Structure 1
Amino acid sequence: MAAGYTSFFKYERLPEPLLRFHMRRKYVNPRTGLSRAGPYDAYKHKCDDVRVGLVTGTSISGLAEKFMQHLKNGHGYYKGFCNVFKVNDFIFDNEMKKEINDKDNDVLSNIENAYFELAEKLPDKSSIIIILNDETINRNYVKIKAIRFKYSKKTIRLQLIKRSTLEKALKDSMMLDFTLFNVATAIYAKLGGTPWILDQQLIPAGVFIGIAFTRPKIVAFNNKAKEIFYYGILTVYNKYGRYIDMSVRGIKIELSKNLKIRGTKGLYIPKSHMVEMLKQVIGTYFPPVVIIHKSARFHIDEKEAVKQVLGSRGIDYALIHIESSNPYRGYGEDIYGKTVVRGDLILDTELNNRAILFTTGCTQSDYGIQKRGRPGTPRPLELEVEENTTPYSVEDFAKQVFGLTKLDWNTTDLEVRMPITIKYARRVAALASYLTAYSGITDIRDLM
């Protein structure tokens, strides 16, 4: 390095967060932890009988049933639902299976009718797996997920699987093990279980809030054009690292079309709505610290609301803009195929409020760093701390975001890009118009 050279950036590698499983055993990889220890709260569900329904297309009925048998009895590294999750029984039979024509023009009605029929037979907190062709799921994902909110007698959650995923899994042993772990973990979570928690606390006590938006839709009302959009809120309550509670809410906003908002970059929560939301959150959790993640920059209305509600009550807060669409790319060492490692962090030492965090790339497993097996160049997250009254630094916030990528119980993959705060805020925003029966508030397990 030349004399007098000044670096404006600092590099470090964050270690992959450890997860805690049954009997307080710790592992980096969710599949390793579930296989060797079992889910974190196995003691709560050891007497449970887990009943599952199946809705599938007639053309793939045989393949779907074969997958269900593997889900129950096991395959390869996945040793079967009861062995892995330590429940009393896993029950699936022909009475819990409905075949539909998924190429029918009225396919949504077919799915809904099949769901309602199975839901009547299943006990509370059961799941229905829906396996259909890719086009049907891609085109109707949100509407299919929303069917769950039309049935209020019991909590019967949905798990969607595409035909292409099913066929690939049944042709590849490693892919099948991976898919079985993913689906089984989601089912366990949806019955109310906690597959794993972070071993180290994110903060001693406090709340993380994620905010994301849908794209505005133009509608006509009383001969006037309005733009309607929904925003999603995910609240993660962390108490001394021992208790995680996650709830979501979706809210509708109407704006004059004259504002000409395009996409989601310029969207924000009006001050009155933001004040109301924050009062609800602190009224429920009484947190000493509130950290807010947003997929767009914070607006002055949002900042004023935060100061009014949190600042006036002496509650420390931080506003973190998490930008996933950025021009940055990273390349690593030759030994890892010139691919960065998940956890690589670049800090802006000049501004002290900005960082580049890689949450995809080569992974730090329980057996050391593993080369990346998928194509493409990892895309990082750009973190910008817009306001901060907490004692935490931008490095601390990066560690928190990194940890929150590990609390997604809908996958056992190590390479998860987005923290759950943003990922599920986006999902609830998409589902917000269907949440009226729940006063706009539901559990994160409904979104998996």
Structure 2
Amino acid sequence: KLHHVPYYGITENGPFELSPSSKIHFFFILHKDDREVATKIHNYFNGKLNGFRGLSKFIHTPYHPDKELAIYFKDRDNPWPELYDQINNKDFDTDIQHIAIYITPISKNVPVKSQRLVYYKLKELLLKKGVSSQVIDPDKVITNDKYHFSLPNIAIAILAKLNGTPWRLDTKLKNELIVGVGAFKHTEVDIQYIGSAFSFSNTGKFNRFECFQKDQTKELAGSILRAVKDYVNVNTGIRRLVIHFYK
């Protein structure tokens, strides 16, 4: 069904495309003192608190918390050693799509670099285990009495991480290869990168991402050429190649 406002469209009609996973399990990663925050998020996801209908009604994704996988750590300032050990010691069933809800004790604006890196290292480690993740700021959950307004965006992000599609534009489907190229400079290490993202239709559905250093322009061109060849092999009626460049 159509709606000119995406939020109201998904609220009234549900997402455009559900996650292809038939078994989805959620689990929490948190400091032992943040149980109150986890309980509140759990109740929001279940639809038991005012202001949000729950994941099953909003994004039509069943909320199944797996308490056996929950991870608790003790060191708020340096949780990485505990997180690394506990995650590596867990066996994740490959027949189940897992998503971790990480209640971070470290602000993204903290001046200590090693603390800022915990989030990225955790995300990378989880991805290597085949686990998606969603971060939650505990201070916002506790201090913001209008936090429920954040839940739709969190739910939509979770659906996308589960390979679902919240909505798409009402345009005729076209067989075309769309390549997005962007430049980014990492200020902490003073290195510039070039990233490329590939989509094989005009629906906006993401297919692949690659990253190169600024002097690797031939490698970038090669990845685009390979994407075109891969696309032509499975789509003989290619209409056009679209390249977006953002700097």
* Shared fold, TM over 0.5: yes
Q: Classify 1:113/1:159 alpha carbon distance in 2 versus 1 (closer, same or farther; 3 Å).
A: farther
* C-alpha separation in 1, matches of 2:77 and 2:155: 29
Equivalent AA in structure 2 for residue 166 of structure 1: V
Q: Classify 1:113/1:63 alpha carbon distance in 2 versus 1 (closer, same or farther; 3 Å).
A: same
Q: Classify 1:293/1:101 alpha carbon distance in 2 versus 1 (closer, same or farther; 3 Å).
A: farther
1:135 aligns with 2:107: yes
1:289 aligns with 2:240: yes
Output the TM-score relative to the length of structure 1. Answer: 0.46
Task: For residue 197 of structure 1, report the CA deviation from its aligned partner.
Answer: 1.6
Q: Classify 1:28/1:100 alpha carbon distance in 2 versus 1 (closer, same or farther; 3 Å).
A: farther
Secondary structure in 1 matching 2:52: coil
User: Which of 151, 159, 166 in structure 2 is aligned with 1:195?
Assistant: 166
Identity across aligned pairs (percent)?
A: 19
Unaligned runs of 5+ in 2: 111-115, 233-237
**What's 1:97 paired with?**
70
User: Which of 182, 200, 213 in structure 1 is aligned with 2:153?
Assistant: 182
Equivalent AA in structure 2 for residue 96 of structure 1: L
User: Which of 205, 210, 231 in structure 1 is aligned with 2:175?
Assistant: 205
User: Which of 85, 92, 101 in structure 2 is aligned with 1:113?
Assistant: 85
Equivalent AA in structure 2 for residue 249 of structure 1: F
Equivalent AA in structure 2 for residue 238 of structure 1: S
- Contact 1:134 1:164 (C-alpha < 8 Å) held by counterparts: no
Equivalent AA in structure 1 for residue 74 of structure 2: N
- Contact 1:206 1:288 (C-alpha < 8 Å) held by counterparts: yes
- Contact 2:73 2:82 (C-alpha < 8 Å) held by counterparts: yes
**What's 1:250 paired with?**
210
**What's 1:27 paired with?**
3
Secondary structure in 2 matching 1:245: coil
Q: Answer 1 or 2: which has greater strand percent.
A: 1
1:234 aligns with 2:209: no
**What's 1:51 paired with?**
25
User: Which of 162, 176, 183 in structure 1 is aligned with 2:137?
Assistant: 162
**What's 2:98 paired with?**
126
Over the aligned positions, Cα root-mean-square deviation in angstroms equals 3.1
Task: For residue 118 of structure 1, report the CA deviation from its aligned partner.
Answer: 5.4
Task: For residue 276 of structure 1, report the CA deviation from its aligned partner.
Answer: 0.5
- Contact 1:216 1:229 (C-alpha < 8 Å) held by counterparts: yes
Q: Classify 1:30/1:64 alpha carbon distance in 2 versus 1 (closer, same or farther; 3 Å).
A: farther
Equivalent AA in structure 2 for residue 192 of structure 1: N
* C-alpha separation in 2, matches of 1:207 and 1:165: 40
Q: Classify 1:164/1:81 alpha carbon distance in 2 versus 1 (closer, same or farther; 3 Å).
A: same
- Contact 1:102 1:133 (C-alpha < 8 Å) held by counterparts: no
Output the TM-score relative to the length of structure 2. Answer: 0.79
User: Which of 126, 129, 133 in structure 2 is aligned with 1:148?
Assistant: 126
* C-alpha separation in 2, matches of 1:67 and 1:26: 31
Q: Classify 1:122/1:114 alpha carbon distance in 2 versus 1 (closer, same or farther; 3 Å).
A: farther
Q: Classify 1:85/1:135 alpha carbon distance in 2 versus 1 (closer, same or farther; 3 Å).
A: closer
* C-alpha separation in 2, matches of 1:92 and 1:158: 14
Task: For residue 269 of structure 1, report the CA deviation from its aligned partner.
Answer: 4.9
- Contact 1:53 1:118 (C-alpha < 8 Å) held by counterparts: no
- Contact 2:100 2:131 (C-alpha < 8 Å) held by counterparts: yes
Q: Classify 1:192/1:122 alpha carbon distance in 2 versus 1 (closer, same or farther; 3 Å).
A: same
Q: Classify 1:237/1:168 alpha carbon distance in 2 versus 1 (closer, same or farther; 3 Å).
A: farther
Q: Classify 1:275/1:124 alpha carbon distance in 2 versus 1 (closer, same or farther; 3 Å).
A: same
User: Which of 27, 32, 35 in structure 2 is aligned with 1:61?
Assistant: 35
- Contact 1:134 1:163 (C-alpha < 8 Å) held by counterparts: no
* C-alpha separation in 2, matches of 1:192 and 1:132: 24
Q: Tell me how many residue pairs correspond in the alignment.
A: 236
- Contact 2:193 2:212 (C-alpha < 8 Å) held by counterparts: yes
Q: Classify 1:144/1:136 alpha carbon distance in 2 versus 1 (closer, same or farther; 3 Å).
A: farther
Secondary structure in 2 matching 1:294: strand
